[in-house]
Every structure is written in C-alpha cells, then in structure tokens.
Structure 1
Amino acid sequence: MSTAPHLRNVLDHARLARYPTRRRQTPVRAAAAAGLAWAVCTTAFGSDAPYPAALAALLVTEASAFRSLVAAAQYSVGCALGVLIAVPVAVFVHPTLPALCLVVFASVVAAQHDRLGHHGVHVPITALFAFAMARSQLWDDLAPHVLETAVGVAIGAMLNAVVFPPLHLRPAERALGELRDQLARVLELLALALRDRRLPQELLGPDWAAGLDRAVRRADDELTAARESRRWNLRSAARGSVRHLDDDVLDALARVADRAREIGRLLDDERDERGPSPAPRRDAAQRRGDPVTPAFRPGGARLLVGTALCVRSCAGGRPHPILPAARWAGRRLHTAAGSTKDHGLARQLEDMLASLDDGRGAPTAEPAPGAGGAVEVGRR
C-alpha cells in the first residue's frame, strides 16, 4: 500500500491543528492594554500600584472589537452594581455578619443576569471589596479604585476598537482554501478508486472522513470569527463586502463533503464482494443491491474529477465554466445507470453538482456539442 495518502493525511492534520493567529494577537493586545493603563494611572494620578486599571484593561481585551466593547460594558456594569449594593450597607449599617450575608446574597443574585455574561462575577467581588472597607476609609480607598477601573476599561476597549482593531479575514480565507483543496483531492482519489475498482481507504487512508469533518468545522469556526471581527470595526476593510467569505460557500462545500463521504461508503460496500466464497458475495449483493457496473465506472470517475475542478473554484463568484456541462452529464449518467449502486452514486454526484451551482434547482440547458467536451478536461 502506498504511503503517499497517509503522508497527505498527516500534513492535513498538522495544517488544521496550526496555532491560530488570533490566539497570538490577544495576549499581545492584553499586555499592551494593561501596560498602557498602568502608565496612565501612575503618570496622571500618581498611583503607586494601579492594579485595578491593569486588571480591567486585560480583562476587556477580546479577540474582536465588538466583543471587547461588550466586555467593557459588562465589566463596567458589574463593578457599578457591586458598588451600589455594598456602599449603602457599609455607610448606614455597621459591618456585621448579617450585613455581609445580605451584601453577598444581593450581589450574587445580580451577578446571575444573563446580560452580564462571565463578567457578572465582578459584582460580588466589587461588593465585598467595598463592604470590607471601614467607613472612615471608604471614600479614600474606593474612589481611586473605581477611577482606575474606569481608566483600564476605557483603554482596553479603545485599544481594540481604535488602534488597529483585530480583523480575522485571512485565517478564514486560508481555512476555506484548505477545505477546497482537501475536498478536491478527496474527490480525485475517489474517482481513481471508482475507476480502478479499489477501496477508498487504500488511497485516502482510514480516517479520511474524520479529516474532512475537521476541515469543515475549522472553516466554520474561522468564518464565524471573521464575521464577528467585522462588527463595529473601524478599519476600512471591515466595511467592504467579502464575497468569498460568504456562508453560502461554506454550506455548499459542506454539502459536497457529505456527499463525498456517502460515495466513499458506497464504494466501501464492495469490500465483502471480493471474498473467496460465492455464497457470501451473493448475500452481500442482496443486502446492498447490485454492484457498480463496469460501464458506469469511467463516466462516474470523469464526473468526480470534473466536480473536483468545480470545488477548487467555489469561492462565491461565478461557477466553473464546466459546471453546466457537468450537471447535464450527471443527468445522462443517472439515466444510463444499470444497477442499484449506479443509481446511488449518480444521485450523490448530482447532489454535489447542484450544491455547487448558484441556480440550484433551476433547469440547466443541454450544452452545445462543443461544450460537452468540457467535462472531458478531467479525463485521466
């Protein structure tokens, strides 16, 4: 068995497990925001250790401008609620155990509001900090703490929203490009398996379907991150329309990947038909239907290769020029299918091509005599 498919699977897995760029950017932004908040407080207010400012700045630094602004609002509201809950009790009631329990109960109830998210934990933290102060030291200690927190929140949100706000378009482009390449290679090797009557696992490796699933999930995650990074982003690139990062592109590729897995399953069903005993072969044929006919294999392989060409050009613009002819050839192939397995494979091929076609469901005119040869581009 050739080691080339296994080597390609290892390379695909390493590429999909690559450390995302945004994971490197967020710590750098958090460190810059915390350092800037510390420097501003020490310079403007003469604070010796303005840790509330640095803490607030790093906690509101998120992977996108939108999430950073939301985190800043949640952090600010959480701290304000903690102060509003604890200060009246600390001023008008002597710090006692019942008063402490009342502050904790009220702050925890307020922290459970859904709109505060995970920053709701700052409600009881700030409330306990304010309550623990003696009444004589309340304003001397609490006012600088609140001011430094406000400075840290403002600097953390501003750094993400104004100073080179994060925009995660290139990771999404790379993920979709890698998905297209991997899916097209799978289709080409499935075509080879169909034409030469070989099992897909011999060419693609045992976990090729799982690798395809990982590629689809990674593209989905990166596309979601790219879409979120464009919200409330002031960079000019964020205001433009990115056609090749459309969700329709990912949906079409995901549907093609589903059909490719189904074709692999249908071809794997022929495994038991190679057994030495005729009786098991007849029983297997009865369970799964008739095998693939020899007349179907060359046309199905050519159509798979043509589909791979269309997959490589599936980027949200005009479809590949051979797509109309491929859809017409797919219908002809389905009509000429001579067995149950032929019909199943032809149906999966037609679904693939329909997913890639912008006018899915619309009738495709029969190509001119010269256009039919376009499908033969993938002939091996």
Structure 2
Amino acid sequence: MAGLSSAFAAQRLQLAAKAALAAGIAFFIAPLMPSAAANYPYYAPLGALVAMYHNVAGSMRQGLQALAGLALGIGLAVVLVNLAGPSPLTVAIFMGLGVLLGGLPWIGSGSDWIPTAALLVLLVGGSNPDDFSFGYLLQMGVGVGVGIAVNFLVFPPLHLSAAASSLDELRRVLGTQLTDMGAALKEEWPPKHEDWSSRSDELAEAARSVRHLVKEADASRRANPRRKLYPRDIDRDYRNLRGLERVTFHIQDITDVLSDVIWKGDLPYSVPLPESGPLANALTATGDLLRSFSDADGEAQEGQLETAKAAVEACMAATAVRQTDRGIVLASESVLLSLHRILRAVRETG
C-alpha cells in the first residue's frame, strides 16, 4: 500500500501529467520537421519523455546528456558503416566502444544512449542510415526541447516545503528519542519500555532522508522561475541539517551507552542511582527543546534552551559530589558530554 500511495502522490501525478502534455505536443510538431526527419515522428515524444525530470535543472541536464549520447552513438554507427559492414565482430567492437564512451564524466544519463543509438542506426537505418540518423537526432532534439519547455513553464516544481517539514520531523524524532531515554532512566531497571534502544539505525536513516530532501529542494530552485515567488534561505537549511546530523550522532552515542549500561552487565559501565534522576531530567529537557522547534516561537525556544542548560548543569553538580569505585566507568559523564555537544549544535543552528 505504501508503494502504491507514493506512486500516485501529487508530485508523481503532476510529473505524469506534464510528461503526457509534452509527449502530445512533441508528436503534434514532429510531422512538421523538414526532409526525411518527418518520417520518424515517434522519436519526438520519446525525447520529451527523456527530458522529463522532477526539477527544471535536472530536466535540462538529462535532456542535453541524452542528446550528447545520441550524437556519439550515431557517430559510432556512421563510422562502422563507412569502415566495414555490420557483422557480429564489428558490432561487438563498436558496442564495446560505446560502453567505454559512456564512462565519460560529463555524459551522465546519456551513457546508455550511445550503444542504443548506434544499434538503432544499424538496425532501423537499413540502406539509408544518413536520413535515419538525421531524422532520429532532430526528432529527439525537438522532443527534448518540448519536454524542457513544458517543465519550465507548467508549474515548475519546487520542493521547499518537503525539506522544511523533514527538518522539523527529524527534530521531533530526535527529541522523542531523548525523552524516551529519560523516561527509561526513571523506571525500575531493566525498564519495561526498551524500543528506544533499537532505534539507532532508524535515526541514521532519518538523517539521510532529510539530507536527500534538502538537496532535492536546492536542486528544484535552479533555473526555476518560481523561486522568486517562494524565497527560502537554503543555506540556512543546510546549516540546520549539518547541526542535526551532529545531534543525531551524539544521540546515537547516548543510545548505545545507556543500552550497554542497562542490558550488558558484563561491561564496566554504570549510572549511579543518585545521578539517574538528574540525568533523566537533562535528557528530557533536551528532548523537549528539540521538539519545540516545530511549534514554538523564538522566545519560547530560548526558554526551552535555558531549561535544558539548567538541567544539564544540575546533573553535572550531582556528578561532582559522588565518589566512584576504581575500575568503574561512569556512563553519566559520557551522556553529559554528548548533551553538552547537542546543546552547542542547537545554539549554532537554531
């Protein structure tokens, strides 16, 4: 069901509608092309589909790379026809050359079109490869131009809201992880609720997903005429992302430390009982701070930050008065260090 719903998401439906429109326009224009090119109208809608991408800059890049690959492939086929007749050996050699040329760093998505275009010229061009090559390249060029124009003029996609909401969602997820660990510290050990202990990979995946969405938002702004209507400080999004990635790393570290303390009794780590309450308060206050970004104003967030700092400092004061047995590593100190770094990252981004 998740895959089905994503396939029919609004963004995908919009892309499909624009692809259909571009293909129709390209096929309408195709018979108007000069000379033998008019005999190959079906390549124009193919070019429109090739150029259709979920952002304008990507549409231009993909379309031009495809045309570059086609030109190289057609050139290979013309060389083959002039040097030797098609045979299993010569076709194999030139297909190998096509794949090698596909490794050029600037060819990108056009790499697959090099051997494809060469084969089409050889197989479909028949006794008149020059006319076919001209018509094939021209019609594909027309289609690519139509696809880029449609994507540029018809609701060029901006993915800014997805990036903004994903940053808020990551803060909420990270904050929930901290508050869940704070609640676990106040339960009788081992705590009954232990799902938080297995979320480390989920947190990393969430951070990767947000990075992807922020990059998509950045790419969607390039060459997009709507960017001036919806201004957004994408550099700030990247700063917030980097800060949240650091926060994610430190929360993963806290998760691993507390999981070891609670469930792996053979390790020389401990959280002294007098410190468990203050440490739980520090974790909870920091988690509440992260979750406040989605619905609190700047003044409220500043208050949450001061509350979290006070809770961390109170826990530091509690650790300063205790004495430890030799050979015991106090896990609370590691957790406090991570909390300090989390608060610093929050202050630097905001």
Q: Shorter-chain-normalised TM-score: which range?
A: 0.7 to 0.9
Q: Deviations over 1:76-108 (max 9, x none)?
A: 111222333333554x55735376566545544
Would the aligned equivalents of 1:269 and 1:288 in 2 still touch at CA under 8 Å? no
Residue 330 (1) aligns with residue 312 (2): yes
2:159 paired residue number: 168
SS of 1:246 mapped into structure 2? helix
Structure 1 residue corresponding to 2:67, chosen from 70, 73, 76: 76
Q: Deviations over 1:122-151 (max 9, x none)?
A: 22222333345355x345444332321111
Would the aligned equivalents of 2:197 and 2:259 in 1 still touch at CA under 8 Å? no
Residue 321 (1) aligns with residue 302 (2): yes
2:259 paired residue number: 268
Would the aligned equivalents of 2:99 and 2:114 in 1 still touch at CA under 8 Å? yes
Cα distance in 2 for partners of 1:272, 1:305 equals 21
Residue 302 (1) aligns with residue 281 (2): yes
Of 29-38 and 221-230, deviating more is 29-38
How far has the Cα of 1:200 moved from its partner? 6.2
Would the aligned equivalents of 1:21 and 1:171 in 2 still touch at CA under 8 Å? no
Structure 1 residue corresponding to 2:182, chosen from 169, 187, 191: 191
Would the aligned equivalents of 1:310 and 1:356 in 2 still touch at CA under 8 Å? no
1:27 paired residue number: 16
1:375 paired residue number: none
Would the aligned equivalents of 1:200 and 1:268 in 2 still touch at CA under 8 Å? no
How far has the Cα of 1:25 moved from its partner? 4.0
Pairing of 1:145-224 with structure 2 (within 5 A): 145-199=136-190, 202=193, 204=195, 207-224=198-215
How far has the Cα of 1:271 moved from its partner? 3.4
Would the aligned equivalents of 1:183 and 1:311 in 2 still touch at CA under 8 Å? yes
Measured on the aligned residues, the alpha-carbon RMSD in Å equals 3.5
Would the aligned equivalents of 1:55 and 1:152 in 2 still touch at CA under 8 Å? yes
- Change in 2 beyond 3 A, CA 1:253/1:325: same
Residue 346 (1) aligns with residue 336 (2): yes
Which residues of structure 2 form unaligned runs of 5+?
325-329
1:333 maps to a residue whose letter is: C
Cα distance in 2 for partners of 1:215, 1:200 equals 25
SS of 2:302 mapped into structure 1? coil
1:347 maps to a residue whose letter is: L
Would the aligned equivalents of 2:261 and 2:331 in 1 still touch at CA under 8 Å? no
Which residues of structure 1 form unaligned runs of 5+?
1-13, 274-280, 361-380
2:44 paired residue number: 53
Would the aligned equivalents of 1:57 and 1:155 in 2 still touch at CA under 8 Å? yes
2:286 maps to a residue whose letter is: T
- Change in 2 beyond 3 A, CA 1:199/1:214: farther
Alignment coverage as a number of residue pairs: 331
Cα distance in 1 for partners of 2:318, 2:41 equals 78
- Change in 2 beyond 3 A, CA 1:112/1:252: closer
- Change in 2 beyond 3 A, CA 1:321/1:86: same
SS of 2:193 mapped into structure 1? helix
1:310 maps to a residue whose letter is: L
1:351 maps to a residue whose letter is: R
SS of 2:158 mapped into structure 1? coil
Q: Deviations over 1:158-198 (max 9, x none)?
A: 22233222211222223222222222222222221122345
Of 155-164 and 61-70, deviating more is 155-164
TM-score normalised to the size of structure 2?
A: 0.79
